[in-house]
Amino acid sequence: MKQFGYTILEDRSIDIDRNDQRIREFLSLNDPSINACIGCGSCTATCTAGHFVDFNIRRVHTFLRRGEAHLLKEEIQKCMFCGKCQLICPRGVNMRNLIISINSAIERMG
Amino acid sequence: MSREVIVIGGGIAGITAASSLSESGSRVTLLEKEKYIGGHVKKWDRLFPSFRPANEVLDWAEKSMSSDIEVLKEATITSIKREGDKFTVYIQNDEPVTGKAIVLATGYELFDARKKEEYGYGIYDNVLTSADLEAIFREGKKIVTADGKTPRRVGIVHCVGSRDEKVGNLYCSKVCCVTGVKQAIEIKQVLPGTDVYGFYMDLRMFDRHFEELYFEAQQKWGINFIRGRVSECAENEDRSILIKTEDTLTGKPLKMTVDVLILLVGFIPSVETNKLASMLGLQTGDDGFLLSMDEHTQDNNTAIPGVFLTGALKGPTSIINSIADARSTALQVQVYLKSIG
């Protein structure tokens, strides 16, 4: 068969219908503060790790809330658990607890 | 002495309530704790969204006060007594005042920016509040750094003391957004060569002509808006201010140096508002501001017949809305006075 070099690109949109919301649901059951984010970026601004490596705690958190769970596991390894994000959060999101819980959530969900 | 209505607080809301009540036939006493009436408006230079001088509005308000209104300045209230339909307000070093109704118009205070220590107000010389900047404009002074130089770059931080559970204020102070945009333009008007940056979480341009002002700030004045809350500031050796934020729209941490940093401070209930609320046993909301009977339908009434609320003691509000609220209060007071005969 003649190859024209066409490929089918993977859809890069966030598909809320298909995404796995279980981690978010599990985490928000344990700690509803995760839903209080207004995306101000204070956490990322103060994050020591994020100034040196490609790690954006606000985006990780937003991905989580959109059910983009496949991105989480690797990303959160970059966190140093210093807790500054939590100290600065104007909405009281329990970020440190959240990162720790993501690990156990991923283990539970497989 | 006996008057029909006692208005407590001589800011824009209290003055307007007093003059509306007087116009509609009541004998009014206006109590003010300061040596002057006019409240916060007296300290402001120009008003959003039209840049009209604040004096114009205050002059209008003061002129609409009839000579029949008795104004007592430097009046510190020590207690309030209620007997049937009669209220007696006791004043330090003065005769008590009696009336059939009380209108509370004790308003707000500005958030103390020193509580957000990470922004360095009171520590770094080049960090000012929006009120400080307004005083500079009002006194016709120049905007200069602590070294007396013209700033090349000015940063404006939104939501200082508002929308921040870390200082205990979850509420939005409503008018800081548009004040920030107004002041950014005013800085450009006097210092066209200075770059102005606004750091915001959301720009809440909720009222008429606010959005247009924001549009003008971007298009005509080239003001830069960066979506991110400033996390902290540090002072450089030359006393300029290094600020850190996330540019949330690119998803990267951002740092920059500004020569002057302006903090848009929000509203908190005034000391006097708190004092009178506990004196009268009035209900406060979880934000510390006073609660009316019903925020939709009886927003000037309280659980105590004859005690009314007006203006910013019910939460952050603009001058425009304070004036409207004060007039609506006057109407409610008249309805009440008629009902008790």
Q: What is the pLDDT of residues B198-215, one digit of tens each?
A: 999 999 999 999 999 999
pLDDT digits (tens, 9 = 90+) for B265-318: 999 999 999 999 999 999 999 999 999 999 999 999 999 999 999 999 999 999
**Cβ within 8 Å, pair A90-B244:** no
Element containing residue A70 per DSSP (H, E): none
Please check whether residue A44 touches B, CB under 8 A.
yes
- Mean pLDDT for B175-180 is 98
- Mean pLDDT for A86-100 is 92
Please check whether residue A32 touches B, CB under 8 A.
no
Name residue B205's amino acid. Answer: M
**pLDDT at residue B152 tops 90:** yes
Can you give the pLDDT at residue B1? 47
Can you give the pLDDT at residue B169? 97
Q: Would you list the DSSP string of B118-174?
A: GG-BTTBTTEEEHHHHHHHHHTT-----TTSPPPSEEEEEEEESSSBGGGTB-S--S
Buried b (16+ CB within 10 A) or exposed e, A69-86: beebeebbebbeeeebbb
Can you give the pLDDT at residue B309? 98
Question: Which residues of chain B does A50 touch, with a Cβ-Cβ cutoff of 8 Å?
Answer: 253
Beta B241-247 vs B252-258: how paired, if at all? antiparallel
How many angstroms separate the CA atoms of B253 and A84, rounded? 14
Task: Tell me where in chain B the CATH 3.50.50.60 domain(s) lie.
Answer: 5-107+270-340, 113-267
Name residue B181's amino acid. Answer: V
Instruction: With cut-offs at 50, 70 and 90, classify the pLDDT of residue A23.
Output: confident
Size of interface A-B (CB pairs under 8 A): 65
Question: Which residues of chain A does B231 touch, with a Cβ-Cβ cutoff of 8 Å?
Answer: 42, 45-46, 88
Tell me the shortest Cα–Cα distance from A1 to chain B, in angstroms: 44
pLDDT digits (tens, 9 = 90+) for B94-132: 999 999 999 999 999 999 999 999 999 999 999 999 999
Q: ∠ CA(B19), CA(B20), CA(B22), 5° rounding?
A: 60
How many angstroms separate the CA atoms of B279 and B291, rounded? 15
**pLDDT at residue A77 tops 80:** yes
Instruction: With cut-offs at 50, 70 and 90, classify the pLDDT of residue A4.
Output: confident
Can you give the pLDDT at residue A19? 87
- Tell which phi-psi region holds residue B122, choosing left (phi > 0), alpha (psi between -120 and 50) or beta: left
Can you give the pLDDT at residue A110? 62
Instruction: With cut-offs at 50, 70 and 90, classify the pLDDT of residue A2.
Output: confident
pLDDT digits (tens, 9 = 90+) for B64-91: 999 999 999 999 999 999 999 999 999 9
Question: Which residues of chain A does B166 touch, with a Cβ-Cβ cutoff of 8 Å?
Answer: 88-90, 92
- Mean pLDDT for B161-167 is 97
Can you give the pLDDT at residue B281? 96
Contact A40, B248 (CB under 8 A): yes
Can you give the pLDDT at residue B141? 97
Can you give the pLDDT at residue B171? 98
Q: ∠ CA(B228), CA(B234), CA(B235), 5° rounding?
A: 135
Best of B229, B242, B244, B250 to disrupt the A interface (most A CBs within 10 Å) is: B229
Instruction: With cut-offs at 50, 70 and 90, classify the pLDDT of residue B2.
Output: low
Q: How is chain A split into domains, by residue range?
A: 37-109
**Cβ within 8 Å, pair A45-B163:** no
Please check whether residue A42 touches B, CB under 8 A.
yes
- Mean pLDDT for B190-194 is 98
Say which CATH topology domain B113-267 has.
FAD/NAD(P)-binding domain (3.50.50)
Q: What is the CATH number of domain B5-107+270-340?
A: 3.50.50.60
Closest CA to B61 of B337, B250, B336, B320: B320
